[in-house]
Amino acid sequence: MVKELKLISIYDIYDSKLRSACERFSNNNNPDFTDQEVITIYLYAMNIEQRLKIKQIHEYASDHLRSWFPLLPSYEAFNMRINRLSEAFRNLADVLLSGFCPQDCDLNASLMDSLLIITCSGKHMPSVAKEITDKGFCSTKSMYYYGVKLHTLAFHRPDHLPFPESIVVTPASENDLNVHKQNWCNIPNRSFWGDKIYHDTELLKDMTSFSNSQILTPVKAVKNQSEIINQRDKAANDLYSRAVSSVRQPIESLLNWIIEKTNIQRASKVRSTKGLLVHVFGRIAAAFIFLIFNS
């Protein structure tokens, strides 16, 4: 009975929130196997059954969900239908993030971070999704790659994973600080917690003056500062940096959880721009449907 209720819950989201995002304007505007059935199978198999590849999802539906979806098409047709729904998955991710915010979120404190999504190694020339991907460098893995970046702004939740408020997808080379300036710096009365890449003295002054907001990051070393001053301030700076890092650490846990649940970082099997958008937003939606069902 639990499986049936979850299937119905996912199915119902389409009519209430997503129909306009994938409405057909052709002679085939009412197919026998509907778009809501495609979305339901994808999300259910991914977040409940941990089937992370389209072929695995189709095989699971064929073997275990035939009684619910007797008109399931071939794998090739199913894959084509999934890619056609890239905008619906983007809208679904927005609906889940805006409509299911937990009550224990601290609306005055936000955590920021990003994760890379790799379409191919930096040693190879990219062949897909060139409109939205480019070459980036991951300092933590010391590697160049082609792909996109997923930038996340999330509400702080004491003793829980933070809950995303906003997600922005950019080419891999986009700097995290630029994304903050373009999307979030005008949010009023907010404390933003991030790593050292978000440190910008001039931006902090502007945010304090115009929106009464602030960015808190670990202390960044000052270039050419004397060793005497460095040693004098070391204890206080280390203490402050540890305090900031402990507050922002849950955003890293959130992104690692999304990677573990959906394998979102590996997009080497994607073959089109729409396919990459489905890979990104479909997996985000699947992850947060899991959170909502288990909250």
Q: Are residues 114 and 77 in the same domain?
A: no
Q: Are residues 144 and 263 in the same domain?
A: yes
Q: Are residues 15 and 108 in the same domain?
A: no
Output the pLDDT for position 209. Answer: 94
- Among 84, 109, 135, where does a domain finish? 84
pTM score of the predicted model: 0.88
Q: Are residues 109 and 205 in the same domain?
A: yes
Output the pLDDT for position 293. Answer: 66
Contact 176, 138 (CB under 8 A): no
Contact 181, 206 (CB under 8 A): no
**195 in any annotated domain:** yes
Cα atoms found within 13 Å of the Cα of residue 257, Cβ hemisphere only: 18
**176 in any annotated domain:** yes
pLDDT per residue, tens digit, the chain (295 aa), is 566 777 777 777 666 666 665 565 555 567 788 888 998 899 889 887 889 999 999 999 999 999 999 999 999 999 999 998 888 888 888 888 887 888 899 999 999 999 999 999 888 888 888 999 999 998 878 889 999 999 999 999 988 899 999 999 999 999 999 999 999 999 999 999 999 999 998 999 999 999 999 999 998 876 666 667 677 778 888 899 999 999 999 999 999 999 998 999 999 989 899 999 999 999 998 888 877 766 5
Domain count, the chain: 2
Q: Are residues 195 and 231 in the same domain?
A: yes
Output the pLDDT for position 166. Answer: 93
Output the pLDDT for position 14. Answer: 64
Output the pLDDT for position 35. Answer: 85
Q: Are residues 16 and 129 in the same domain?
A: no
Domain hosting residue 226, numbered range: 94-293
28 burial via Cβ count (<10 Å: 0-12, 13-18, 19+) = exposed
- Give the rounded distance of the alpha carbon of 62 from its chain centre: 29
**89 in any annotated domain:** no
Q: Are residues 100 and 51 in the same domain?
A: no
Q: Are residues 147 and 50 in the same domain?
A: no
Q: Are residues 56 and 112 in the same domain?
A: no
d(CA 26, CA 14): 19
Residue 291, number of CB atoms within 10 A of its CB: 20
Output the pLDDT for position 15. Answer: 64
